[in-house]
Chain A
Amino acid sequence: MANIKKEKGNGKLLRHLKRTWVLYLFILPMIIYIVLFNYLPMYGIQLAFKDYRPTDGIWGSAWVGLEHFKTFFESYQFKDLLWNTLSLSFYSLIAGFPMPIIFALFLNYITKKRFKKTAQMITYAPHFISTVVYCGMILIFLSSDGIINQLLMILGIDPVGFLSNPENFRHIYVWSGVLQGIGWGSIMYISVLTSVGPELHEAATVDGASRFQRLIYIDIPSIMPTMVIMLIMRAGEIMDLGFEKAFLLQNSINLEYSEIISTYVYKIGIQGGQFSYSAAIGLFNNVINLLLLVVVNKIAKRVSDVSLW
């Protein structure tokens, strides 16, 4: 009796597979990709706790425990790297997060269709410019004889040494990022705003609410959940600050401000060949990231009932 039942169960699975095996074939290329490039590297994290020698391989190299982490925490760069990474990231977040929201809220009140479409077309464009080109433009425009200084001169303002003062690195990094992301970042909010029913706005108008009041009392609450989700996601990227832009805008003058963990990992790992040490630093970076994500998600859940999981 039991045997028959078992056969029946197997038969069911077999029938299911016979019908749907194609679906598993469909995900096979993706599985291969993520195993190779996402999960195998995770297995390689053990490098951070070993003294990697190419001849011994990842598995054969000797364990050294937390030695690399200790070396990193005690190194003179540690404080600067962590501070640069965190400050640049929080600055980007504080300046970059509200801007697309404000832009979306404003665009929502523009009734002239052509004007709105043109503004959207223009502001989305920088999203498609490569980081290399964008950084190149920043460096050319802000140079001592660049167009920004030429415009300032026309206005009767003395030229500014944007690039010669290393402290400016942060502002250049952050505000150029804000300008690049303001349009693209607003799309999601615009789509939520347009889904707000017109009845609510009409009712408010009848009650004598001004446009500004409608923005505050109708629009902002309607995009609140999206805002929270976006904020949580950004929090998970705090330490994941764009390598490319920092690396490309970096030079010997501003290194003191522009060296962040990811550029440092690249330099000592890929360029310097200290695989284990840089893997340890990379892991430290990842763990902090994950912690931030979990913490912010928890806070968001408690405060606003919106969370990623």
Chain B
Amino acid sequence: MKKLKKMSKSDRLFLFIVYTTVALISVMILYPLWFVIIASISDPNLVATGEVLLLPKGITFEGFKYIFRDPRIWSGYYNTIRYTVVGTMLALFITIPAGYALSRTDMKGRGIIMKLLIVTKYFSGGLIPTYLVVDALGLVNTPYVLMILGSFSVFNLILCRTYFLNTMPVELQEAAEIDGCGIFQYFMKIVIPLSKSIIAIMVLYYAVGHWNSFFNGLVYVTDSDLYPLQLILRDILITGQSVDPSTVDPESLELMKQIARTIQYGVIIVSSLPVLVLYPFVQKHFVKGVMIGSVKG
């Protein structure tokens, strides 16, 4: 307070603008998320008439009941979980060892390999040629394509490499070598245990990527049994097919129309739940990832 009094007029005005702007932007982002939560458990009629604004009213879990009865949600959830788990493990297997190898100065040809990687960031074959390759590999309409695609990113590789470059002292590696420790052993016994934070970052980046991935499912999978959650969500949220017509009797169909919106709010929550629940705890790792990336510039 004393400090505030000492401040000049322009400083006080400046801080006022700073605090209000930041607060305003935060509210603009937080409120929609909060509204989804309260609307999903409120009486649909009260939501429609604009009476639910800050707190839930006429609490009901009807929407969620329908959501959990919808087989599409279950199959989408199951698919997305297996794509995410297998895909993330594959991504670690590809990215971490490669990032380490490319961080070592005694690896010949690493300059060329880095250049080949950078090229892919700025030039690609495009959608159709990529589709034909995936097709030729026999991967179209298989679960494998959604596990494999998205399991490597040049950006993440560079992040790993930068991390290893900055944190793995050459002296340690030399000392291990003198003791007769081979590269593989050194990597498994020393590098990996010292790299928990970059591994955590990679797990998060790839897992969120797989979880939210929509495009690959849209392009490479036509069998609805293989649909990831995001494709099901598109049907419910965008195309407005809140109800799976094949599984519901006409009477409840009428009821479902009334609570279609409630179902949409509920689906947003159900699908984003894993990410939203973990988010506050892992947020600092995500941020750290960006920081590592920015060191390189």
Chain A residues close to B by CB (< 8 Å): 16, 19-20, 22-27, 29-31, 33-34, 36-45, 47, 58, 103, 106-107, 109-110, 115, 118-126, 128-133, 135-137, 139-141, 145, 147, 150-151, 153-154, 179, 182-184, 187-188, 191-192, 210-212, 215, 225-226, 229, 236, 243-244, 248, 262, 265-266, 269-270, 275, 278-279, 282-283, 285-286, 289-290, 293
Contact = CB atoms under 8 A, between A and B. Distances in A.
Nearest to B120: A38
Contact of B132 (A58, A130, A211): A58
A122 B25 CA distance: 9
A29 B93 contact: yes
Given A123-B29, A290-B123, A139 B237 contact: yes
A266 B127 contact: yes
A130 B151 contact: no
A150 B157 CA distance: 46
Interface stretch (B8-16, B57-65, B194-202, B244-252): B8-16
The 8 closest A-B pairs by CB, nearest first: A41-B125, A136-B237, A44-B129, A282-B126, A130-B212, A26-B97, A150-B50, A26-B101
Nearest to A293: B122
A285 B182 CA distance: 47
A44 B22 contact: no
Interface of B: 8, 10-11, 14-15, 18-19, 21-23, 25-26, 28-30, 32-33, 35-36, 39, 48, 50, 53, 93-95, 97-98, 100-102, 104, 106-108, 113, 116-117, 120, 122-134, 137, 148-149, 151-152, 157, 182-184, 187, 208, 211-212, 214-215, 219, 230, 233-234, 236-238, 261, 264-265, 268, 271-272, 275-276, 279-280, 283, 286-287, 290-291, 293-294, 297
A110 B272 CA distance: 30
Contact of A141 (B18, B32, B106): B32
A46 B178 CA distance: 52
Contacts of A27: 97-98, 101-102, 113
A33 B127 contact: no
B116 to A, nearest CB: 7
**DSSP class of A's interface residues: helix, strand, loop or mixed?**
helix
A266 B30 CA distance: 34
Nearest to B27: A122
Contacts of A266: 127, 219
Nearest to A212: B14
A179 B31 CA distance: 12
B29 A131 contact: no
Contacts of A25: 97
5 contacts: A23-B107, A110-B19, A132-B237, A147-B35, A147-B39
A42 B18 CA distance: 48
Contacts of B149: 37
A34 B120 contact: yes
Contacts of B18: 106, 109-110
Contact of A121 (B35, B100, B187, B283): B283
A42 B129 contact: yes
A290 B132 CA distance: 23
